[in-house]
Amino acid sequence: MSRKLIAQRIQDLDNAADYRSWREIALELDRLEGAEDWKQDDTSDDYDYLLIRERLTALRRLRQAGDARQLAFDLYEGLHGNLGNMSNPALYGIARVGTKRLIEEYIAEVTRCLDFVCAGDFPDFGFEDKIQFFKRTAMAFGRSALLLSGGGTLGLFHLGVIKALHEAQLLPRVISGSSAGSIIAATVGTRLDEEIDALFQPGGLDLDAFRALGLREALKGGAMMDGAQLERCLAANIGDRSFVEAFDYSKRIICVTVSPAEPHQQGRLLNYLTAPHVILRRAVLASCAVPGVFPPVALQARDYEGQIVPYMPGKRWIDGTLSADLPMLRIARLHNVNHYIVSQTNPHIVPFMARIDREQQGRRGVVPLAAELVKSGGSGALSLARKHLDPYGSGRVLGKIDNVVRQRYSGDINIYPRSTPRRVLRTFTNPTPEDIQRYVRSGERATWPKLERIRNQTRISRTFEDCLRLLKAREHELLQQRRPVLRRVASR
């Protein structure tokens, strides 16, 4: 009876209409399959449960005693995103929902302690102490980013990932996109929270992006698709905002990668810090310029008077995936990110993502090892070939291939679709409304099993952001209150 029930509930899980239903069924399966007992048992060789238990007890005692100064000291000294290896992927490979109760209780206690320090009024730990503590500790702790890969029309899968994260209130503020991923990132980055829901409705996005050129036009321009049609589509979805204007409007940090079309240039990560006045839709157009499919793109920016002018005149840019599909290192340096949620739809990568996840959970074997050796050997052969070829001809082409081979295509948490030949064949075709809904649904369903892991591993950094937002608002109020007093003093 139990096996029959489990089989039936697994089928129900596959047909769940929303995350709430999916989660209820998954929790029932955890009970039926024994994962609930595993969660209740603190012990495991996969993390230092004694250290986590000790830290939990100490923090709870300090909070209950109301000792804010000592609590802040202990948090500042000992707070770490992977304390005792509690972020080990193996700890999320047993249960369908969540992980060890001890880990979840520890994370919940840390957030309670942060809220306590932020909201409380303490004679020996004043407002300036709070500001300093939260800024320094948040900087040391780091935060998460969502990275959206390329993949042509397959990139609509990202929209479902965004939908699931948004509905769960887990959408990171830092979102990076390459090629197709840059379209979704920029579309989200030019909207407020309350405006995002409309994107998932029929007609919420203009996706009439592809128009094939005639043979004569294609041979003349060196591209199969009409770049002007793609730009019209981007203008309808993104508008004319620059990176800094989009940031000021939505408070989201949108990053777009572009690759150089000429020699002597490097790939760029464009955002409100590195290219504040660059027009966002032009950056996305460049990031989508797959060689041979779309023509290279010249960037544009706003000048001091607000007029749109050429940016780096004479330089053209192409597909961002060629230099950095997932620009983790540069995002880490610019935005204090040390945890990456990756939505991966590149058709040449997706077939290997399940294997990457198994490796992260410690299930290594001969096949993954062989794949790694082939990758390393292939990259070495490409580097050797480049040395003996014309650097501006074949050598440069091999250089681009080498960049693609060397890249890292996975993050701390990976979300990816089930690859099908039919989807790959439609990479550069305009999707129908039914196609869009299928992609969104696919993205949602692939995200649901990862939501509790994302919730746990981002909860502390999200609490830091909330507390800093409240403290900054309070700081602004105090400043406003002081200004009349300062004016009266100055008038005397």
Please list the active-site residues. Answer: 179, 319
Q: How far apart are the C-alpha atoms of 370 and 352, rounded to whole Å?
A: 13
The answer to whether the beta carbons of residues 315 and 120 sit under 8 Å apart is no
Q: Which helix (H) or strand (E) holds 268?
A: strand 268-270
Residue among 469, 393, 417 nearest 148 (CA): 417
Proportion of the chain in helix, strand, coil states, percent, rounded to 5: 60, 10, 30
Residues 6+ apart with CB under 8 A from 489: none
Q: How far apart are the C-alpha atoms of 18 and 14, rounded to whole Å?
A: 11
Phi, psi of 394 (to 5 degrees): -60, -35
What six digits make up the tokens of 308? 């749109």
Phi, psi of 177 (to 5 degrees): -140, 145
Phi, psi of 274 (to 5 degrees): -85, -25
DSSP string, 99-154: --HHHHHHHHHHHHHHHHHHH--BTTB-HHHHHHHHHHHHHHH-EEEEEE---GGG
The answer to whether the beta carbons of residues 75 and 118 sit under 8 Å apart is no
Residue among 384, 324, 15 nearest 181 (CA): 324
The answer to whether the beta carbons of residues 448 and 164 sit under 8 Å apart is yes
Phi, psi of 480 (to 5 degrees): -65, -35
Q: How far apart are the C-alpha atoms of 279 and 260, rounded to whole Å?
A: 17
Q: How far apart are the C-alpha atoms of 93 and 85, rounded to whole Å?
A: 15
The answer to whether the beta carbons of residues 153 and 443 sit under 8 Å apart is no
Q: Which residues of 229-246 are buried (b: 16+ CB within 10 A; e: fewer)?
A: bbbebbeebbbebbbbbb
